[in-house]
Chain A
């Protein structure tokens, strides 16, 4: 892990991924989870949705906005399975931040684990941003995690970000393993009071 884990802002061009309840089976079909590392996951992102019946790339946004860093999605994005393969695939494809109407909770937690800010705004605001990206494929979008704003073109909008996600990203403490590992003696105290855990000593 690098020393610089503070994520105060992310920026880049955008990719709109329209639709409500986009589930993790669409984002990363289960048949591609049969690998013991996440290394190749970018190749499988929205694998079925991006292809025609004959296997050729269709006009899916991911095919049209190659190189984008900010995904803009609608409501209940990432619902369904807990697979971290989904945000891993997005990250490895190039996504550094997500703007959406709402997220399934496990998906949002997984984003936090990976240091990907996932911010929210209302339907109209998100739709306008998606339309702006269609019209401005090379336009820069900036997610300011600290200020909870998104800026594109001449527009700056206020967005919501989950409090603990904001804190974790800005303070660089989203690596929860390191954070919790330092509390080992406190864990032992908690465990000692649990009647179902047999003590080792």
Chain B
């Protein structure tokens, strides 16, 4: 099936080829999956020697760094495309950079007295995301046509700042967990595991919506463009179910989250191929990096999936508490 779809994506017109770029994309996907596997297994030995909340916090830090890095690169590129016309446009990449730094420091167990600063960085990222949402919505609204498809496609992407808000939220959750009593970790008054699972599911849904909108703009011209609107929604659905059902749902959810995480990296490889398919390809990078599919966008899926995996870890370590959710 993959080869079939790869062939089809290159032969929409009567003349086609596709094996080489297809292979490049598949190698990229494999690399992504490999990296992820390496990361997952490398966590195990150390994990047994520390509190499960700390382990989850570190995973969330990783997730938040990835999300933040994606936002930093994506907003940096997209706002360059917008010529940084408004000085506020510098805020997104700058705050994201701060957020990434904070998340990475969190992951390497810096002194706990830095916690407040890290926490503040995460919260400010979250707030910047929300303010950005407002800016982007205003940008769309003021264009001729208002909330039309044209402006949703080509105006400031309404969903993009949402990713920064998510990065901040995940990062803040990490700080929160690290400070929490391992026996009774809660988020917003709910047991941490299920609450985080639900939050992640919502975040995934938003990310799917953004990818769906952009891939619709690209007319799903390549069948592989359906992947980010089919795999992550399943993961999000399972995650939601796991939040309510508990341990039994965890193994299947883990598989789909891992697939989503791998997809995020593979997406960047696909997008690199997409850039090459624009006129002039990589040689014309000064245009095609801007007008081709955004390289930094897909790893947001990986970030969200990692947060989901962390939620599952928490739930495994705190069995039974899922019953509290929603009551």
**Chains A and B form a bound pair:** no
